[in-house]
Structure 1
């Protein structure tokens, strides 16, 4: 609860003030005061995570939180999955949309592939740093009560709601776009990230996954808005992938438990 109160207070205050100033034409995207408030709002989950950990140090010591945050010693193939899965899903959904509507190919504006690396680094801040809060605090806390799969779904819904001020903020990509479609994609991301965290207990990998998903979109591998209802392909594919991964993980867990009683 501490996390959510601080997270939403920081983010909605910063983005609310920014939206008011932007609509009053006092600030525009790109100016340093605009970007400062924009980044501050995006750091709400991380700020909330640290406040929650420090205020409940007996239950969640800072050292333990940092061990999860910087856990990098995992099997090498997890890094391939972490970066590759969001990239493959973005390419797949875009290709399917173009197959249905070949004319959409002219609306695509994809940057050179080598730009993915610098974009990945930028998106660590532009999205990735939300993960200490959503997967580092919210996911494990809720999972204690209702399990990892249901927790991922609930976190996804709250995470989508957290983004609402951006849809009233001139200059950012969400402004004026379709919130239900966006929210469905966020839920799909939360399901996949919930699976990734439950399998690795690494917040760091979740940061990289989130950054990779944002980077491939920034690269231009995304279904154009002109696609109409086909824009649902990407979020639906994310949700499907998330459910499949979580169900597969649960089946494996059930098999392991059954084997222990044999």
Structure 2
């Protein structure tokens, strides 16, 4: 009971900090767009506010870690991110996730030119900053704390929904990737990715690999949005895409449940 109460407290503070940081920055952009003809997509001030907003979960994870860790130290926070020594099994799991993403864009969206994949690699540092670092909050704080309060499957649904709602202001900003998605579809994809990234974290115990995987996904889906549609900001949703994402959801849920049950038996 005491552990649940502590977890709920951390969840509450994390969500408060995260939504306050992010929504404040993004709502300023919306106000600038609508009332002052300013802060348009791609402008320097827009990028500053957008970037700070994107880092909301990462900033909040640092605050929470510092607030609730008695023996806090900068080195301990770094260790919290990179985990213990990464063995061959962990690298194999991580590699399979990266290959799966290439399969996703190649089979699902028909993008198989090497130069396209190279562009993702080149842009990876930016993709980490403006997306990947979210994992420090979602997988590092919210998901594991929620699993101490509710079961695995409800926690997946809850984190997927919270993650999607956190992005909500971006539907009111022209030029963002989110503005090209119906929110219902984005919510469903958020639940799939929550299951997938959570499974990766369970089997690797490494937040940094989750950061890389998140960034890699954003790069791959960016190819589908732009290159796959001759520059148009939209997804070509065909039966292949549906099959690929359905497989990802089913496999990640099965693996996640198997891990949770195994851990429960050991405890």
> Which range, TM-score by smaller chain?
0.7 to 0.9
Which digits, 9 at most, give the CA deviation of each residue in 1:28-69, with x for residues without a partner?
Answer: 222111100010110110111111112212398765543231
Tell me the residue number matched to 2:253. Answer: 246
Q: How does 1:1-262 map to 2 (within 5 A)?
A: 1-24=12-35, 25-58=37-70, 64-71=76-83, 73-75=86-88, 76-95=91-110, 112-175=116-179, 177-220=181-224, 224=229, 225=234, 227=236, 230=237, 234=241, 237-238=244-245, 240-251=247-258, 254=261
1:169, distance to aligned residue in structure 2 (A):
0.8
After superposition, the CA RMSD in angstroms is 3.0
Which digits, 9 at most, give the CA deviation of each residue in 1:168-207, with x for residues without a partner?
Answer: 0122222253111111111111110011111111111110
**Shift in alpha-carbon separation, 1:255–1:185, aligned structure 2, 3 A:** closer
**Shift in alpha-carbon separation, 1:256–1:183, aligned structure 2, 3 A:** closer
Between Structure 1 and Structure 2, how many residues are aligned? 246
Unaligned runs of 5+ in 1: 96-104
Q: Are the equivalent residues in 1 in contact too, given 2:195–2:256 (CA < 8 A)?
A: no
**Shift in alpha-carbon separation, 1:147–1:168, aligned structure 2, 3 A:** same
1:109, distance to aligned residue in structure 2 (A):
10
> 2-side partners of 1:7 and 1:186: how far apart?
17
Q: Are the equivalent residues in 2 in contact too, given 1:8–1:44 (CA < 8 A)?
A: yes
**Shift in alpha-carbon separation, 1:85–1:65, aligned structure 2, 3 A:** farther
SS in 2 for 1:73: coil
SS in 2 for 1:145: coil
> 2-side partners of 1:40 and 1:220: how far apart?
26
> 1-side partners of 2:215 and 2:183: how far apart?
21
1:150, distance to aligned residue in structure 2 (A):
3.1
TM-score, normalised relative to structure 1:
0.81
